[in-house]
Amino acid sequence: MPRWGMVIDLDRCIGCGACVVACQAENNVPINTEDTYHQRRAIAWIRLERYWEGEYPNVKARYIPVPCMQCTYAPCEPVCPVYATYHTTEGINMQVYNRCIGTRYCAVNCHWHVRFFNFWEPKWPDSLKNQLNPDVTVRSRGVMEKCNFCVHRIVKAQHKAKVEGRALRTDEVQTACAQACPTNAIVFGDLDDHNSTVSKLLAQAEREGRVYRLLEDLGTDPKVYYLKKIDLEAAAEPAAAH
Amino acid sequence: MATHGHAHGHELQRTWELAPADVLNAGLRWVRSIGTGRRTLVLVCAGLFALGVLAILAFPLRQGFAERQAWTYVAVAFLYLMSTAAAAPALSTALRVARSHWRRPVNRASEIWAVTLIIPFLLYLILLPTFPGTEDRLSIWFGWPLSPWLWGAILLLALTGAGYLFAWFSSLPDLAIVRDHGSPAQRRLAAWLSRGWIGSHRQWRFYEKVVNNIGVLYVLIYVPVMTVLASDFIIALIPGYFTAVFPAYFTITSFQAGIALTIVTMAVLRRWGGQAEYLGREQFWALGKMLLAFSLLWFYFWWSEFIIFWYGRMPHEIQVLKLLMAETYRWPFILSFAMNFALPLLILMWNPIRRSITGPTVVAVIVLVGNLIDRIRLTSAAFSQPDAALLGHAHKLKELPAAYVPGIADMVILVGMVAGALTLVLWAARYLTFPSVAEVVGGLWLRAHKPFKHARVIVIGKTE
Amino acid sequence: MQERHRLGEEEITRELFRPLVTTTPMMWVGFIGLGAVLAIFVFAISWMFYWGLGVTGLHRPNMWGFMIVNFVFWIGISHAGVMISAILRLTQAEWRRPVTRAAEVMTIFSLMTAMLHPVIHTGRPWRTLYWVFPYDFWRNLWPDIRGPLVWDPSAILTYLTGSTLFLYTTMIPDMALARDRSTGWRRTLYTILALGWRGNERQWKMQTIAGFLLSGLILPVFVSVHSIVSWDFAVSLVPTWHATVFAPYFVIGAIHSGVSAVVTLMALMRWLFRFENYIRLEHFDAIGRLLIAVGTGWLWFFLLDIFFAIYPQEARELEIMQFRLFEWPFNVFTALIFIFGYFIPVPIWVFQRFRRNVKIMFWTSILVNVGMWAERYWLIKPGLMRKYEWTFDWAWYRPSIVEMSIVLGSFALVGFLLLVFSKIFPPISVWEEKEGQHFAQQLQVGKRVVNAIVREF
């Protein structure tokens, strides 16, 4: 049984936002217009947060892509009254759109702000309607949605492996964001597989003392690992970007 | 409010059929009866107290103030006296403010415990040096200069003062009786204390107004004092114990113990003090109900804290749960849970038991022991942290300390301090009448026999 | 207590039934005014259902807003009924008699109003109902009982059922009285509701026992309801919500605002229905004294909450505390809570002269509830606006006109329902008043005449 996880190397991240766009296209996320941004209702399963450090002219932009952390002990899960959010055996924190009744408690109790509510009926321009991904449900108004590590890709790969009568190969699955990342800052894979890229990256970064997770002290055991930026000028820590 | 006879098998308290002179005679009987039994008891208690003081001098004091763990049982004795003896007068005030009549013979039994306040006050003073200043550690004082030492001592002093004033003013009329009718030995002190009480209209007005107000003042000081003690003695000494409900838990469970102490005092007075006519089922039933209610509150306040920690699953909270409930002090916790909540609930659930003398008394004894175990559990856990674990605004309990097992000296200290409180109460009882003549007769004045439908009933007026 | 009059039974019946048979102009004003606001309320909700929750001011991270705040507020108000009736009935406080009925009815109506909020707050309430009525057992997908939002409806529905039974039990004798004095549809209604009440000894005994039992049983429910509502917030990890004190703090706050609402209601009833002979100054006096104790208890818990939120000195919690204590508009809310919730009303209530002044009691009770509404808002919103270190995602919450209409309308809804109730059922318990008259005695003590009560144990 794989335990899916992700490693995001902030030293490689250039803040291009390709992951955000890829995710948007892959997962049928509605177009975020200027209005929805201003209403703060934009949906971005992975978002790029930008923090400014220092004062002009010595200012630095720090980028951090934030997908769902897929916490092992996710605080959003027990608070849902209808099991619309639950934990899969492979460690993914799933959202069942058809069960969701819209209490939004999961979003309140998610401290990484990675759960999104469909305040409006999702709309696409006619020209984009044929580009919707047939593997992913289009969510209606009134339900929560969130990153699920491109679970449809995982399922598809597992199905293919089963048809071919073999086990899933190491690093056979990639999420859309990882695939789109031009600098390979985002890496997805099985944390329990010692040969997977994530495990190797983690092992190496552990030795360098670069590994951390967001809000680790809450004890939720997130499965998205960040590798610190190597900053020769200042040993600044993006996690502490207050 | 009134009582009336024989309905639904409820027997009327004999008190309401007595004449005022009977009450006076009963009070005088108490004042004149200083048997050898009581004298021996006082001597034994005083002896134990002296032993306890010696033990404090010989053990914790010799180890020095820096060794906080050695002071654990001094703190236990202090907190236990604050939870029981100091809570009882608060109960008395609550009953006065609620203006029910059944409380009249009860008040003295709870107010007299205010005379013990000097012992916890002194214990507090010698415990203060064991605490580090609050500049570099988490505390409710937020690094305020001279905290916790000076400000805590001022609060405790205010409480002690209010307590003694309360005990004093509430017994003024009875002190005058002792002054006029007591033995020469009793007269001297009573005469000084009764401050020329002659029962004039003005003095009675003073009595009615001032006693209530001082009682309320006492409660208003008691609650912040317990809040500060809970925070200084327990919360601030356990890193990562971030709880806002604990001071409320500490205070409410102290009220519970205060009620239990009053019930036990009443039972003793009834059995050995010849108060059967005044402290009857009516009083035990009413206080039994309160004890049941407060036992439920014990659970409620404990659960309010537990569910948040347990559900939240933050590592520092789980660590505290392990220390206080699940691992280190598991058995003290289970015992405390059983004796403060489960047993009182199971026993007092039944009205026939609540309505008896034995039922509430037995439960009160259980609660008094349970409260002691609870205080031992909390204090031992809190006092096991060295200063180094607290300084630098420590946010997390690094590792679970071992449970603190008391030695003989600890036991001697604990027993000695409780015995000291008993000594003071027994001594004070010499100068006071039981029952409180002023209170009980005051109720009798408001009593009348009246026809009601086919029966004659006793009606007791309720002044507004 | 000098103002107590001896009233004949017939007189009591006639006067207490008066609102049922005569509609004064002021009552018409009430019906029309409240009805108009209610229409806005219905329109706002329909608008929201049609367009979706986009028409509210909710967004990420402010997923909960005015509707949840208002929900907590109305749950708080609903605690008055049981506080007054059950506790005062068990302790046999005489002054409860004229206020029990109104307080219980207010409990029920405010509970119903409160329950409306989380349901409409989902935006698609039919989805909620879909999972509940009928429950599809066949798929073996049960509600998640770990979720506070499952505890919530369980507690609230239990409370609603219990209080309705409680109210109904205490209404049966009055229904029989009304049955015997009415014609037409009213007679049919009262006949059904009176359940064949004849007032014989056995029936009275059963009714008394049922009343006492229900009071006793409902008390734990009463404490649990607001505790569970508080756990909706406290079991989450949102800084300033994750506080152990929330349960007792919410309960005492609920009692504070609920009992104040009863004072408001008493003053209104006294004025609207001319019940001066029943809702007397001594009742305001007694309830004012109770409020001093409740208010002070609430202040203690409020301060505990503030102090121990600051105590850990954690950046993320301090950030929110700083925000809600010192920054506009929360600094104003903080002031409102302290001043309106405690420092104006309680010092006033200390004086008997003011406690016996209906106007002062009315306005102070309104103040308390303004303060308590602010308190609910103050407790719930800042934690979401400044949740954890993500300054990138911090955002203000501005309620939209739709949400404001819903909040305003909820007050009209409760008022309207209360008014309708008092057109159909006597707003003061007639039999309890009469029973009180029987028990009331006067005693000559020295030169003074003292009021006294005969009581059964």
DSSP letters for A162-227: HHTTSPPPTT----HHHHH-TT--EEEEETT-TTSHHHHHHHHHHHHT-EE-TTGGGS---SEEEE
Instruction: Please provide the DSSP assignment of A118-156 as one string.
Output: --S-----GGGGGGS-TTSPPP-TT-EEE--SSHHHHHH
Q: Which of residues 261-300 of C touch B (CB under 8 A)?
A: 282, 285, 293, 296, 300
Of C242, C309, C451, nearest to B312 by CB-CB distance is C242
Per-residue pLDDT band at B13 (split at 50, 70, 90): low
In the predicted model, what is the mean pLDDT of residues A174-179? 95
Contact C60 A113 (CB under 8 A): yes
C286-302 pLDDT, tens digit each: 899 999 999 999 999 99
* pLDDT score of B4 more than 50: no
For residue A232, the model assigns a pLDDT of: 67
For residue C359, the model assigns a pLDDT of: 95
Please choose, from the candidates A115, B342, A138, B461, the residue with its C-alpha nearest in 3D space to the C-alpha of residue C449: B461
Is A215 near chain B, with CB under 8 Å?
no
User: Which DSSP helix (H) or strand (E) runs through A62?
Assistant: strand A60-66
Where is pLDDT greater, at A97 or C2? A97
For residue B73, the model assigns a pLDDT of: 95
* pLDDT score of B5 more than 50: no
Contacts of A218 in chain B (CB under 8 A): 314
* pLDDT score of A111 more than 60: yes
For residue A241, the model assigns a pLDDT of: 46
Is C391 near chain A, with CB under 8 Å?
yes
For residue C252, the model assigns a pLDDT of: 94
C88-137 pLDDT, tens digit each: 888 777 788 888 898 999 999 999 999 999 999 988 888 877 766 666 67
Per-residue pLDDT band at A82 (split at 50, 70, 90): confident
For residue C2, the model assigns a pLDDT of: 45
**Percent of chain B with pLDDT strictly greater than 90:** 61
In the predicted model, what is the mean pLDDT of residues C151-177? 92
For residue A24, the model assigns a pLDDT of: 92
Contacts of B308 in chain C (CB under 8 A): 231, 234-235, 242-244, 246
Q: Which of residues 374-433 of B touch C (CB under 8 A)?
A: 393, 395
Neighbours of chain B (3+ CB pairs under 8 A): A, C
Reading the block at residue C39, the tokens are 């229409």
In the predicted model, what is the mean pLDDT of residues B170-192? 88
* pLDDT score of C4 more than 60: no
* pLDDT score of B3 more than 60: no
How high does pLDDT run on average in chain C?
A: 89
Per-residue pLDDT band at B386 (split at 50, 70, 90): confident
Q: Which of residues 304-333 of C touch A (CB under 8 A)?
A: 315
Tell me the nearest-neighbour CA distance from B69 into chain A, angstroms. Answer: 30
Is C352 near chain B, with CB under 8 Å?
no
ipTM of the complex: 0.93
Is A144:A115 a contact under the CB 8 Å cutoff? yes
Q: Rounded to 5 degrees, what angle do the CA atoms C268, C274, C275 make?
A: 85
Per-residue pLDDT band at C455 (split at 50, 70, 90): low
Is C216 near chain B, with CB under 8 Å?
no
Is B462:C450 a contact under the CB 8 Å cutoff? yes
Of A82, A108, A115, nearest to C236 by CB-CB distance is A108
In the predicted model, what is the mean pLDDT of residues B186-207? 88
How high does pLDDT run on average in chain B?
A: 89
Of C52, C128, C393, nearest to A141 by CB-CB distance is C52
Of A41, A115, A215, nearest to C59 by CB-CB distance is A41
d(CA B129, CA B123): 11
Reading the block at residue B415, the tokens are 């027993």
In the predicted model, what is the mean pLDDT of residues A96-106? 91
Judged by average pLDDT, the poorest of A106-115, B153-162, B303-312, C208-217 is: C208-217
In the predicted model, what is the mean pLDDT of residues A106-126? 92
d(CA B296, CA A57): 64
Residue to mutate among A72, A76, A80, A218, with most B CBs inside 10 A, is A218
B206-216 pLDDT, tens digit each: 888 899 999 99
Burial class of B321 by CB neighbour count within 10 A (0 to 12, 13 to 18, 19+): middle
Is A99 near chain C, with CB under 8 Å?
yes
C345-360 pLDDT, tens digit each: 999 999 999 999 999 9
* pLDDT score of B11 more than 80: no
Q: Side chain identity at C159, as an amino acid letter?
A: Y
Residue to mutate among B314, B317, B319, with most A CBs inside 10 A, is B314
Judged by average pLDDT, the poorest of B16-20, C48-52, C287-291 is: B16-20
Contacts of A217 in chain B (CB under 8 A): 314-316
B118-172 pLDDT, tens digit each: 999 999 999 999 998 888 889 889 888 888 999 999 999 999 999 999 999 999 9
d(CA A241, CA C43): 45
For residue C133, the model assigns a pLDDT of: 65
For residue C222, the model assigns a pLDDT of: 87
Write the CA distances from C276 to A92, C12, C16, C272, integer angstroms: 66, 12, 11, 10
Is B315 near chain C, with CB under 8 Å?
no
B322-333 pLDDT, tens digit each: 999 999 999 999
Of C244, C310, C451, nearest to B308 by CB-CB distance is C244
Contact B314 A78 (CB under 8 A): no
Is C451 near chain B, with CB under 8 Å?
yes
Is A236 near chain C, with CB under 8 Å?
no
d(CA C45, CA C50): 9
Q: Side chain identity at C72, as an amino acid letter?
A: V
- The residues facing B251 across adjacent strands are none
